[in-house]
Amino acid sequence: MDLRSVYSKVYVLRLGHRPARDKRITTHVGLVARAFGANGFILEGVCDEAVFESLRKVLKVWGGSMVLECGVKGENYVEMWRGSGGEVIHLTMYGLNVDDVIDVIRVSAKPKLIVVGAEKVEKFYYEASDYNVAVGSQPHSEVSALAVFLDRLFRGRWTNIIFEGAKLKIIPHSRGKMVIDVGE
Ligand code: SAM
């Protein structure tokens, strides 16, 4: 089953991207979003073409589709999301433990906006979010927090997603690399 049929939208909003130093980590947030079952990646503040170029390349070769947006004002996006019936989940080490809230989040069919920060996240997001969720109460990274959260949300079933339109497919192999060309 394609997980996107359970929730119409699971989008990731990445706050505070600094083009001079965050290209790689922001790209990794986008790659985790795609691979772990989200269907939208929104970059707040700036439009960093290098990040989107990398994500588009992965989508072209490995398939799948995602809504990609940039340059939005984070606060407006969160308010618009909630106003249109969605719920907002802010990942922060100060939040409630993921194990204590994930079942409630999972059963709600509302579109989900998952917010991750870079450095300091403004108070607004703590107050405006439906859930402030901690993936353990220790600082680590937006990439790891997002991966663990999505894995829990989808109970690990994201590993079975079939990415439509893929040109390449990996055949799992005990040694070496086996990749087949499935594109036209
Ligand atoms: N002190 C910052 C904070 O407010 O959480 C840590 C910043 S961390 C470099 C960047 C982002 O990673 C955070 O905004 C948050 O989204 C995510 N993050 C880091 N550790 C986390 C944790 N234990 N649980 C959930 N999210 C976390």
Indicate if the pLDDT at residue 105 is higher than 60: yes
Summarize pLDDT for 16-27 with one digit per residue, the tens.
Answer: 999 999 999 999
**Contact of 137 with 98, CB cutoff 8 Å:** no
Q: Is 148 in the pocket of ligand 1 (CB under 6 A)?
A: no
Q: Is 176 in the pocket of ligand 1 (CB under 6 A)?
A: no
Indicate if the pLDDT at residue 158 is higher than 60: yes
pTM listed for this prediction? 0.96
Nearest of 1, 5, 66 to residue 31 by alpha carbon: 66
Give the rounded distance of the alpha carbon of 43 from its chain centre. Answer: 11
By CB atoms closer than 10 A (0-12, 13-18, 19+), residue 148 is middle
Q: Is 85 in the pocket of ligand 1 (CB under 6 A)?
A: no
Q: Is 140 in the pocket of ligand 1 (CB under 6 A)?
A: yes
Residue type, 169: K
Q: Is 113 in the pocket of ligand 1 (CB under 6 A)?
A: no
Q: b or e along 58-87 (b: 16 or more beta carbons within 10 Å of the residue's beta carbon)?
A: bbeebbbebebbbebebeebbeebbeeebb
Summarize pLDDT for 11-69 with one digit per residue, the tens.
Answer: 999 999 999 999 999 999 999 999 999 999 999 999 999 999 999 999 999 999 999 99
In the structure, what pLDDT confidence band is assigned to residue 121 with cuts at 50, 70 and 90?
very high
CA of 64 to the centre of ligand 1 (A): 28
CA of 147 to the centre of ligand 1 (A): 13
Nearest of 9, 14, 6 to residue 145 by alpha carbon: 14
SS3 per-residue string spanning 78-127: HHHHHHCCCEEEEEEEEEEEHHHHHHHHHHCCCCEEEEECCCCCCHHHHH
Q: Whose CA is nearest to atom 13 of ligand 1?
A: 117
Structure token digits, residue 124:
């607004």
Query: In the chain, what are the domains?
Result: 3-181 (3.40.1280.10)
Q: Is 78 in the pocket of ligand 1 (CB under 6 A)?
A: no
Query: Residue length, the chain?
Result: 184
